[in-house]
Amino acid sequence: MVTLVPVMTRTLTYRRTRGLGGWLLLTAFLGLFGAAGCATPGTYYERHEIPRLTVVFLDEQSLQDKWTLVTSKSPIMSSGVVVGLFDFRTQTIYCPKMDFEVCGHELHHAVLGRFHPED
Ligand SMILES: [Zn+2]
């Protein structure tokens, strides 16, 4: 049985450009709105519970090794290199620590399932 695993990739030419400016912006944002939550206009409210969710933070090489172990595929794909994954079988998110973009993406897979074409 083949288990499809949603994956987030980045193009191979992508280089992380977050620097001090990003942290300053985040700090300013938290200073303005507080760290307890973010208010948005409207009445949107959607609640999800994910029983037995596991999150594993790991480095890039370990993540790619995990990808290969779970899928038996290369971590280098036509859409880019694997940077995070959610394993439906074990209900586990694998992503880099403090990488809110990748971890948030995989969290959405945990909540919503498969939501993009390569799934
Ligand atoms: Zn994805």
- The pLDDT assigned to 34 comes to 53
How far does residue 47's CA lie from ligand 1's centre (Å)? 20
pLDDT in tens, 82-117: 999 999 999 999 999 999 999 999 999 999 999 988
How far does residue 5's CA lie from ligand 1's centre (Å)? 9
How far does residue 40's CA lie from ligand 1's centre (Å)? 25
pTM of the model: 0.67
- The pLDDT assigned to 55 comes to 98
How far does residue 29's CA lie from ligand 1's centre (Å)? 27
Q: What distance in Å separates the CA atoms of residue 41 and residue 93, rounded to the nearest whole number?
A: 30
- The pLDDT assigned to 1 comes to 44
- Count how many residues are written for the chain: 119
The arithmetic mean of pLDDT across residues 39-51, rounded, is 86
Mean pLDDT, all residues of the chain: 80
